[in-house]
Amino acid sequence: MRWQTRLSQRCALWLVVLHGALTWSAMALRVDQFPLTWAPMYSTHVDTGEAEHRKVFKDKRHVEERGWQGIRRDGATEWIRRRDVNVPMRSMWRLYYQRSWGQPPAKEKQKNSGDWSLDRWVRGLPPGAPIYSADWERRLLVSVNKTLQRAPEDADFIVRLVAMRTVMRFDGESLAPLGRSQETAEIAWRRAWSEDFRE
């Protein structure tokens, strides 16, 4: 009975040591996938030294009622709303207000942040080289058309997506409002992307 207790204690100790080694290795290599790490490592901050702070106004009503303006192959225009692409509001905010402008998700920013890192060294990449990159314009336009079940040769195929957002500017120290401006992003279809529709 005593040897069983010692054996179970030894197994528990090795399990804790193994778990610790695996978790710390995952942290050093910046692996953020369950079960290797338990907490997301998404926070990155780059001090731009700018005197003003910019904040995008996320207009829930706009993405519900209008969304993107889609220009079709036949020249007609239509509004592509959140319910048309069948995504939750938080995902729609990210797609409309960030990916339309080519802004990557926080996870991708974190993965590509820093200069020298162990995961770059393991992959044989030079310091500061991007580890992960995606063509967000392509992914967005292809995804919207596939969701709407439209093929590149269809007359109602979306060849251009236009998004508009309001950016509010604040003083970097006092946070006093400095005004607001409108920004427009446009994603145009490229013929090379047609390969994404081949099965």
Q: Tens-of-pLDDT digits for all 199 residues of the chain?
A: 566 677 688 888 898 899 888 877 777 776 765 555 555 555 666 666 677 878 888 888 999 999 999 999 999 999 999 999 999 998 998 999 999 998 888 777 777 777 777 777 777 888 878 777 889 999 999 999 999 999 999 999 999 999 999 999 988 788 888 889 999 999 999 999 999 988 6
Residues in CB range of 8: below 8 A, 6 or more apart: none
With respect to residue 16, please indicate whether it lies within any of the assigned structural domains.
yes
Q: How many domains does the chain have?
A: 2
| Same-domain pairing of 32 and 96 | no
| Same-domain pairing of 15 and 55 | no
Specify burial of residue 140 (Cβ count, 10 A radius: 0-12, 13-18, 19+). buried
- Residue 68 structural domain: 51-115+132-197
For 59, phi then psi, to 5°, come to -90, 100
| Same-domain pairing of 77 and 159 | yes
| Same-domain pairing of 163 and 86 | yes
| Same-domain pairing of 106 and 19 | no
| Same-domain pairing of 34 and 79 | no
| This prediction's pTM | 0.72
The two structure tokens encoding residue 52:
């003003």
Residues in the chain: 199
* Strand 158-171 with 68-72, pairing: antiparallel
